[in-house]
Amino acid sequence: MTIRALIIDDEALARERVRRLATAEPDIDITGECDSGAEALDVIARQRPQLLFLDVQMPEMDGFQMLARIPARELPLVIFTTAYDRHAVRAFETHAVDYLLKPFKPARFAEAVGRARKRIASGRTEDTSAALQALLAESAQPATPRLNRITVKHDDRTLVVRTDDIEAFEVAGNYIAAYVDDACHIFRDSLSALEKQLDPMKFLRVSRSTIVNLDKVRELQPMFKGEHVIVLQSSRRVSMTRGVREVEKAIKYGNH
């Protein structure tokens, strides 16, 4: 049995990696590569692939938006590829749709292909399509309201600070420090709880202790051994543990 597969990713290096790993799977036939959702829709209509390796985050049309335009009866199996585990991973696991979290290893790629292979061989692709339709329906729901302002105590006053003005949030013991230009505002919260309330298109958690405002990033400065620090517009420097390509992509397109 040969499985016709299509690679969809806006990054050439990412497509190359998937293609290279697919060559180790004797029954996977890569019938094409697309660098945008619009191009992929045309190729899918013509080629009817059985399996998609689909990047979640792409400019103009993301992976979810692309899938939503395919008739339910024509949906192929999908192995999502994503650099962002926030929200997406939980949704994929809940709906039994496989995903590959970049940078993924060959063994993880083979495992994902193995799952797709079993579903195709058993004829259970309709179950997967139904789960995928449920995921797409959820993604089309109105967005959760986002935190636009915070209140902080200052002497006997309560200050109102716009989140758009905040460069970064940083853990300070049991408190959070919010940096606005040269000022630092302290309030009680956990970083994980705060992260869920912030707009993921504007704010990115770059380490266990820090969230940055992507609009306030001035540069990514190289350090030693491939590591980088973030330089904010106030010249504040922030350490990061996320990969530099992941951060660059979030800056360009937002943190999906």
- Residues with Cβ within 8 Å of 237's Cβ and at least 6 positions away in sequence, in order, are 221, 229, 230, 231
Residue 256 has pLDDT above 60, yes or no: no
Strand partners, 203: 213
Q: How far is CA 61 from the centre of its chain?
A: 14
Q: Provide the β-strand partners of residue 52.
A: 6, 78
| Selected residue with higher pLDDT from 13 and 132 | 13
Which whole-number Å values give the CA distances from 251 to 26, 104, 202, 212, in the listed order? 38, 22, 8, 11
Write the pLDDT tens digit of every residue in 40-81. 999 999 999 999 999 988 888 888 888 888 887 888 899 988
Please name each of the domains of the chain with its CATH number.
Answer: 3-139 (3.40.50.2300), 149-253 (2.40.50.1020)
pTM over cut 0.85: no
Name the packing angle between helices 106-122 and 125-139 (round to 10°). Answer: 120
Residue 137: per-residue pLDDT: 61
Q: Are 88 and 62 in contact (CB under 8 A)?
A: no
Structure confidence at residue 96 as a pLDDT band (50, 70, 90): very low
Going by the DSSP 8-state scheme, the letter that residue 130 receives in this structure is: H
- Residue 155 clears pLDDT 90, i.e. is over it: no
- Residues 55 and 9: beta-carbon distance below 8 Å: yes
Residue 94 confidence (pLDDT): 44
Q: What is the pLDDT of residue 59?
A: 81
- Separation between Cα atoms, residue 134 and residue 145, nearest integer Å: 22
d(CA 22, CA 238): 38
